[in-house]
Amino acid sequence: MIKTYFLPVNRIDNVETVAGMEYIHNAVLGVEGTERKLIQDTTPEEDFFLSTLSSMSREATDEEKAELENMLLEFPPSPPYRDLVAEVDKLKAEILELKKKKGI
């Protein structure tokens, strides 16, 4: 669901940190007064936490949805992280299973 959140900002040693930054990804983040306006396609879990932290949240307008779409076209998301260790472990297990079937 694409939603808009208005999040508070913490300022420590002249560095601003947006509340809920651990839930922000592939999003548009702008300045709205003293808060940050976040437009993001969120999971239900992300929505829960961001809604809890925000002063206000709502469904994104068509204009905001278009803004997010344009941003994603210009800056596509990175591919998901690969867990190479898990992939190797899975391949080893598959090889072991094949060896058992062949009696090796």
The three-point CA angle 30-6-60 to 5° equals 80
Rounded Cα gap, residues 9 and 39, in angstroms: 16
H or E element that contains 2: strand 2-7
pLDDT of 68 over the 90 cut: yes
11-57 pLDDT, tens per residue? 889 899 999 999 999 999 999 999 999 999 999 999 999 999 999 99
Spell out the domain ranges in the chain. 2-78
pTM: 0.72
Q: Evaluate whether 28 touches 68 at the Cβ level (below 8 Å).
A: yes
